Structure 1
């Protein structure tokens, strides 16, 4: 899965940040790897200052999914680390919800013994007398 990190001018966008974000998201969203083509991350400082004291860091993540509409989440935090981790948790939950609905709605083809006539023969109850 490809991870792209974009930042505002107030946040340092170093290669280390992109590598860390890619490793973190691949670890936490790895089970969706076959369905997700890429994740775009946008980190911004809402008040555009280095003053602390507020929940002013915003992290927006958008997961692009094969054959489906993208899923996007936003999280705010006092620093970019907490904003990023919160958005990653929200994205994981949103993907679990979306793919859970997909499984229920489209009834994906699954292996089951209910369709195997040989398995059913062995489970028949003996006639009662």
Structure 2
């Protein structure tokens, strides 16, 4: 699974934090490791320098073999919270999408 993390110009990004975040994402999506080919992560600061509660937004798009891409978004007060919230949503969406696929094959 190839993971690409993108941030806007309001978010400080460094290799150490990206590696830590990538590892957290891999742990959350471990059971889909063989199915997901690419995971694109975009983190942006909605309010910019004005700040505010839960103003960080993370969108994730998972490309999975055999099904249309799954895209989700979540908000958080920190980059980590926004990303982990989006990762949880990807897991739920993939469970739903792949569950529907196996139901079709089973009938």
Task: Report which of the two has the higher share of strand.
Answer: 2
Secondary structure of 2:39 counterpart: strand
Residue of structure 2 equivalent to 1:119: none
Please list every run of 5 or more consecutive structure 2 residues that lacks an aligned counterpart in the other structure: none
Return structure 1 stretches of 4+ with deviation > 3 angstroms: none
State the structure with bigger RCO (CA 8 A, min sep 6), 1 or 2: 2
**1 CA distance for matches of 2:76 and 2:25?**
18
Secondary structure of 1:67 counterpart: coil
Cα offsets for 1:44-100 (capped at 9, x unmatched): 000111x44322100001101113211010001122121111111111111111111
> CA RMSD, aligned part only?
1.5
Cα offsets for 1:3-45 (capped at 9, x unmatched): 1100000101211122112211211111111110011100000
- TM-score, L = length of structure 1: 0.77
Secondary structure of 1:43 counterpart: strand
Residue of structure 2 equivalent to 1:69: 68
Please list every run of 5 or more consecutive structure 1 residues that lacks an aligned counterpart in the other structure: 109-129
